[in-house]
Amino acid sequence: MQILRYATRYILNNHLSRSSTRALSTIKPDDTKPPFLMVASIGNPEPDYSGSRHSVGHWVLEQLVQNHWKNFSRFQKHRNISRGPYSVSQDSVSSNVLLFKSNETYMNLQGEPIHANWSEVRRIQSRQFSPALVVVHDEISLPLGKIQIRKQGSSPRGHNGLRSIDKIMGQNYTKIAVGVGKPPNKYVADFVLAKFKRPEVEVLEYDVMPQIVQVLEQMTKGEHIFEVSKAPEKRQRQPRPRQNTKKDSISEVVESAASTASS
């Protein structure tokens, strides 16, 4: 039944009309200002899909707050943050980070909630920070236990959540891909919607989370988040020899973290 619901929403998403104008997902970094991170996880609605491979991003942020960044508040709702809970630091040490779980929307509809919240965060925080968006997502092309930092401008690799974001915002955001392994057969939907087994959870806890913490701490200092992927150069076609002598023609939130924490 869950798979049927998911497939139905996928079909509906492909028929949604989108504006032809994409909003920029980031602004040019200002070297005179410290970075501000909005770290957003994408997945399917919780609690229905909690613990599933496709929602590993939500699991990562929850573990981050519970077991690693203990100075952060529990995830909670706020009137200025739509379609998901947030968490911020309760002291000034990490006041330049907002964690957001987009867990009220299906994966292939993630573009709208991510864009809405990121636009507000960027608008407010750009006054004193250089904002950057980081999206945490599952990746079947990576083995379980591995993560990968993917620069701004990198492709979605067929990931429906990233494609939804790209359609609305463009590709100017950084990704943290969390490996969940390849499906054992052709039934990809069954695989990503299934829950992790206990041995897999242990790999996430002991292998993945230390990597996540290290990378995010680097990002809070401005590393990785403003790097742009160099698009592969297009191959030039060689002109075919012509039989005539005619010439060819030539023909783009919340208030500050402190005030949000106290709201």
Reference 28, options 217, 252, 219; nearest CA is 252
Q: In degrees rounded to 5, what are phi and psi of residue 26?
A: -155, 165
Beta-strand (E) ranges in the chain?
Answer: 35-42, 76-78, 81-88, 97-102, 130-139, 147-150, 174-179
Task: Kindly state the helix (H) or strand (E) to which residue 32 belongs, with its residue range.
Answer: none
Active site residue 78: no
The answer to whether 196 and 204 have CB atoms below 8 angstroms apart is: yes
CA distances from 101 to 8, 18, 85, 221, 227 (A): 23, 23, 6, 22, 24
Residue pointed to by tokens 């390849």: 182
Give the DSSP per-residue string, 207-257.
Answer: IIHHHHHHHHHHHHTTSSTT-BPPPPPPPPPPPPPPSS-PPPP-----S-H
Residue pointed to by tokens 């032809």: 20
Residue pointed to by tokens 């929307």: 105
Q: d(Cα 178, Cα 64) in Å, to the nearest integer?
A: 14
Q: d(Cα 7, Cα 1) in Å, to the nearest integer?
A: 10
Which residue type, as a one-letter code, is found at position 237? R
The residue annotated as part of the active site, out of 54, 115, 159, 224, is 54
Could you list the active site residues?
54
